[in-house]
Structure 1
Amino acid sequence: MKRVGLLILMLALAALGQNLWGPAAAATTGTALTSSQSYGPYTCMRGYVWREAFPNDFVCVLPDWRMVTAAENKARVANRFPTYPHPDKCRPGFVWRQAGLADYVCVSPASRNFNQAYNRSAVNKYNYPPGLPARGAYNYDDYGISEKIVGGSNFTPNGKVSLSVYYEGVYAGDGRYLPRYGETLWHSWNANSQGKLGEAWSPTKACLNPLKVHLILLDERTGKVSNAGPTKLCSSL
């Protein structure tokens, strides 16, 4: 069983390495445009499924990795010391998975690293990121300082939050909704100790043909994605 689990892990790691920052696959549903959301706003790209490490875990992973995650959940009791003062202390060779802030399932260190990598790339695995819910995120133009402000709440306290910009109407040949800079992040900051973020990130400029864009924030610690809403940018930015 250990060899089978290791093989699945190696295959999944190889697949993630090919897709972590590279071009995404077509829509999950196989429809013409990625705005199709057959499974709601958290619909995954084709070839990916929800990890489901715990309730409401909508991080998209490869099917083999969801199977690994389910097996880890079933082995939760076997991989910890039940009599230790902390009920979730892991046996030697195991660590907390930490796919979420309260995820204390004991897994191998490689599994924890892999789940954290999935969390950091979560926004790139959704079928249509501009269709994701706000979850408290926002943006507005502060004309007093001539800056665009982006922010939100419910992020990991002191955790890294990254911003991706999706341009409306820009599609790849296979129908995907494509970020202007591929999978490159635009900016990143750290939330404060209360899990809140409010940052000036781009000059507010006037131009003849502004582009409508969608601002997407990713909590890299948990993989939770928030839609800060649409705005307009000059094409020169």
Structure 2
Amino acid sequence: MFRTSVPRPLRVLPIALGIAAVAGFGALLPAPASALPYGPYTCQQGFVWRDAYNGDTVCVRPGDRDTAHAENAQAAARRSPNGGAYGPDTCKQGFVWRETRPADHVCVTPDRRDRARAQNSEGAQHFADASQLPAGKVHVRTQKHQLGGWIFVDSASGLSPNARLEFYAAGVNTIGLRALGNRQTDGNGYLPRETAALADVRCQIPRDRAATVIVVDTRTGIATSAGTTYAFSC
């Protein structure tokens, strides 16, 4: 189980050793990656982009993409013709905004909105190689200890307001992504530099390799790299 705060100082490496460790890990890179056919957001076999809007790269099953297209086609019929309490995009009774992103006002049944939110959260797990995702607006830093290291959120801004951010590690000796923890942005889409660790992990990959930290903004489903970490490196 990951800890959410830094243990007592007696477990931290001595200062001289800690500095040497950081210097020794400073130039680590993820394992070499093969080029992906559709760029960094290429999905695993059996998954496709959801395509609920132009640029939607959340990976889903083909049937879910077909459903999103059908919902788009039915959008006008499910919208209140005279507007309403939520403006011109107010839905008819029994329908709600889909919200695959905050601006998605396609009217769907409540269960379909729930499914869209789940897809946003799950999508990063279905990329062909999440370690190739581009850098985003969240950054992490690492502090080594004798058994592995602590991973901290260093900075985060320009994200969705009041959004749950989910963090994963790619390139660790596990199948798929390894969950690290989550954080919640404030009303301005901001997270401060943290002193409480996002995750306390154990080393399990070669010393000359680094893992990539992936972050998902679950209000949009957009996944990006938050940088690399040597916390898993032995």
Q: Same fold (TM over 0.5)?
A: yes
One-letter amino acid of the counterpart of residue 65, structure 1: D
Say whether the 8 Å CA contact 2:142–2:231 is kept in structure 1. no
User: % of aligned pairs identical?
Assistant: 32
Say whether the 8 Å CA contact 1:141–1:204 is kept in structure 2. no
Shift of 1:234: 4.5
Runs of 5+ consecutive residues of structure 2 not aligned to the other structure: 1-31
Report the counterpart of residue 232 of structure 1 in structure 2: 230
Shift of 1:235: 5.7
One-letter amino acid of the counterpart of residue 77, structure 2: A
Shift of 1:67: 1.1
Residues 22-171 of structure 1 correspond to what in structure 2 (within 5 A)? 35-85=34-84, 86-141=87-142, 148-150=151-153, 151-167=155-171, 170=173
RMSD, aligned α-carbons: 3.0
How many equivalent pairs are there?
192
Say whether the 8 Å CA contact 1:41–1:132 is kept in structure 2. yes
One-letter amino acid of the counterpart of residue 83, structure 2: Y
TM-score normalised per structure 1: 0.71
Matched position secondary structure for 1:227 = strand
Q: Which has the higher contact order (CA 8 A, sep 6+)?
A: 2
Matched position secondary structure for 1:78 = helix
Say whether the 8 Å CA contact 1:35–1:131 is kept in structure 2. no
Say whether the 8 Å CA contact 1:43–1:127 is kept in structure 2. yes
One-letter amino acid of the counterpart of residue 191, structure 1: T
Runs of 5+ consecutive residues of structure 1 not aligned to the other structure: 1-32, 173-177
Shift of 1:226: 1.6
Larger Rg: 2
Say whether the 8 Å CA contact 1:44–1:127 is kept in structure 2. yes
One-letter amino acid of the counterpart of residue 127, structure 1: A
